[in-house]
A and B are shown apart, each in its own frame.
Chain A
Amino acid sequence: MTIKEKQQEVIEEFSAFDDWMDKYSLLIELGNELDSFDEANRQQQNLIEGCQSKVWLHAEMNNGKIEIQGDSDAIIVKGIVALLLRVLSGHTPDEILETDLFFIDEVGLKEHLSPTRSNGLVAMVRQIKAYALAFKAKQG
């Protein structure tokens, strides 16, 4: 699936709910199901410190594709991390760099999350793009 198709899939899943609490239940579920984070990667350079919660992101290159791991100490944020990884992990640096992440807005997360957390989301996306850029540079 392309990144675009994955985003559409996420939007569809969320569109089944019109109550906010149901959307957040889904996020919590996604957070709980996220693959566990490799403790060896829980390092300062992988940490994005938001105003209130912490996010860890670690990326590796595998056969030309970027595999991303993530974690957060807040479960709702972890759910958002899970969504981001589902959409972006397993793609090439170019695919990630060219991506327009429209699902965040469409699912309503950006607009409905508090400004501080919304910034955290922006920081996460920026970090993933930075990884992509670094891997691309290394590839030459």
Chain B
Amino acid sequence: MAFDIRKIRDDFPILHQDVNGKPLVYLDNAATTQKPLSVIDAEAGVYKTINSNIHRGVHHLSNVCTEAFEDVRKKTADFLNAGSSDEVIFTRGTTESVNLLSSSFGETFLGQGDEIILTEMEHHSNIVPWQLLAQRQGVVIKVVPVTDEGELDMQAFTELLNEKTRLVAVTHISNVLGTINPVKEMIVLAHAAGVPVMVDGAQAIHHVPVDVQKLDCDFYVFSGHKMYAPTGVGVLYGKRKWLEQMNPYQGGGEMIDKVSFSGTTFNDLPYKFEAGTPNYAGVIGLGAAIDYLKNLGTKAVWEYEHELFEYAVKQMREVPGIRFVGQAQNHTSVISFLLGDSHPFDVGTLLDKLGFALRTGHHCAQPLMDRFGIPGTVRASFAFYNTREETDSLVDALKRVAMMLG
């Protein structure tokens, strides 16, 4: 293994603690990831050394801080292989990115009777903003169904695309099932029908290499906190041709060119979509997270996590009564399961007492739970700092819990 796992774990101070008298095993990485020291130091360092409002001052600190902030925009563009850093817009997270898009793209390009396509495995944050838009503007939402294996029904997707379709918004990777969707194929199909595509990369950006030009997606959105960066910062990548035409989202400082009561003109990209003082400390932390991931190597991360995932599935199969929810061919290190007829909540509560941090419930994907006819799942989501030993102890704990819940 190319990974020096001990050294990596030393970079994450939070991992070294006891919970309920047991060593913490953190397997809730799909909800949020832990932060390496370099990220924590980068964010704290802003306040210690360069804090100053950006793009505003003629003074030294303001210039340094602005430069650090804009460097991260370049770094992010480079990480995504975006055509230009003007296509990278900083937001508060995936949710805000989707809301920005539903609002601005919606206002500019969508009207009564127009259709957008979502899928049954979307996170609520890629459903509800579109529903609000549908209510406001009479847009119709079409939904791609999910198969028993937890994959998108591509035949149905093809059939849903028609001359009324104006946008496809699909998750790159399911936060519940771990399914890696064939987004490239979907983009090719959608583009052939003249339809742009937004990809929700919240669960993908830190697990699989993402190249937005190769994908040819029109928009790609994600959150910092799920990719080892601070919370409160996210990204909306958009192709220039769309962003330039789209109405602004929020109004305020920074996003304007000239303000007067007879008419205001707006700033250029990307500032048109960044009203007000941004979370520059968080953005600078995001830069450190990108450095950290690049340093490990996205490919090496993928290989390590995938091997761990396969090991975990193999070991977990030995737990009596375990049922996996979603068994897609292409899969990241997210495992959703149930133990017999036990309520996920009972499983999660007992695991917590044994030191394991897992998520239970509907994972903000109620339509998907309805699809499988279950109230929720127990979800173990692995990151590159998790180990085989942790997996083994999870399996032991699950056996114990299965026995207790009988």
Contacts and interface: CB of A to CB of B under 8 A. Distances in A.
B375 to A, nearest CB: 7
Given A25-B404, A52-B376, A76 B353 contact: no
B349 A113 contact: yes
Interface in B340-386: 342-346, 349-350, 352-354, 360-362, 375-376
Interface of B: 20, 342-346, 349-350, 352-354, 360-362, 375-376, 400, 404-405
A117 B344 CA distance: 13
A76 B404 CA distance: 11
A113 B400 CA distance: 20
Interface string A23-49: 011001000000000000000000000
B349 A73 contact: no
Contacts of A74: 343, 345-346
B375 A24 contact: no
Given A21-B400, A52-B360, 5 more contacts: A53-B375, A73-B343, A74-B343, A74-B345, A76-B345
A75 interface: yes
A51 B361 contact: yes
Q: Say whether chain A's binding surface is mostly helix, strand, loop, or mixed.
A: helix
A28 B352 CA distance: 16
A134 B303 CA distance: 62
Nearest to B22: A20
A75 B354 CA distance: 18
Contacts of A2: none
A76 B354 contact: no
B25 to A, nearest CB: 16
B353 A21 contact: yes
Contact of A21 (B342, B344, B376, B404): B404
